[in-house]
Amino acid sequence: MQSDQLPVTEYAPYYAGYIQILENVNLMEELEICLHEFIKFVQDIPMDKFDFRYAEGKWTIKDIIQHLIDTERVFSYRAMRISRNDLTPLPGFEENDYVDNAFANKRSLQELLTEMAVVRQSTLSLFKSFSQEQLERIGTASNCEVSVRAIGFIIIGHQKHHQKVFKERYL
C-alpha cells in the first residue's frame, strides 16, 4: 500500500503531519529504506552534537533516537494487538517520562543505532506477517481509532519528522 492511499479516517488528526510528510511511499519498502537513510544521516552528524540541546529542557539527539526506539516498540505492540483483533482500547504513553527514564545520554551512539536497527527488523518482520485483512483492521489507541497500516506509516513519518528536526534545530 502507498501512503497517499491511506484514508484519513484510519488515524487521529494529530498524526496527519506524520502521514503528510511521506511522499507516496510503499509501507513495506519504506519501513526498510528509511531506517538505512536515518542511520547514514546520524552517522554523518559531528560527535559534539549528540549531547547538544538547542534550548533548556529540550532533548538531545541521543534522547530523540531513544524516543524513536521506544515509540516504535509501543506502536508495533499496538499494531500486533489490533491485527490480532484485540478490541481492548490501548492506552497512550507519556513520552517525556520514557525519555527521562531511558538515560540515552549514557549510551554510545553505536548502541542506540544497533538497538534501533534491531527494533526496526522486528517491526518489519511483524508487518510482513500481516494479511491484507489484518493491515486494514482498526482498533483504539490513545482514545482514537487507528488501523494497523496507519500505524506503520506513522512509525515512518515519526522518524522522518525527527530527522527534519535534527536538520533544523541541531545541525
Task: Identify the bridge partners of residue 90 per DSSP, sorted by sequence position.
Answer: 141
Reported confidence tier of residue 1, pLDDT bands at 50, 70, 90: confident
The predicted-structure confidence for 34-43, as pLDDT tens digits, reads as follows 999 999 999 9
In this prediction, residues 53-78 reach a mean pLDDT of 96
Pairwise CA distance, residues 126 & 56, whole Å: 38
Percent of the chain with pLDDT over 90: 97
Indicate whether this model's pTM tops 0.85: yes
| Spatial CA neighbour of 12 closest among 151, 137, 158, 163 | 151
Longest CA pairwise span in the chain (Å): 47
Q: What are the chain's domains? A: 3-46+69-170 (1.20.120)
Rg of the chain in Å (alpha carbons): 16
Task: Identify the bridge partners of residue 146 per DSSP, sorted by sequence position.
Answer: 139
Pairwise CA distance, residues 76 & 151, whole Å: 8
Reported confidence tier of residue 164, pLDDT bands at 50, 70, 90: very high
* Residue 147 backbone phi and psi in degrees, to 5: -90, 160
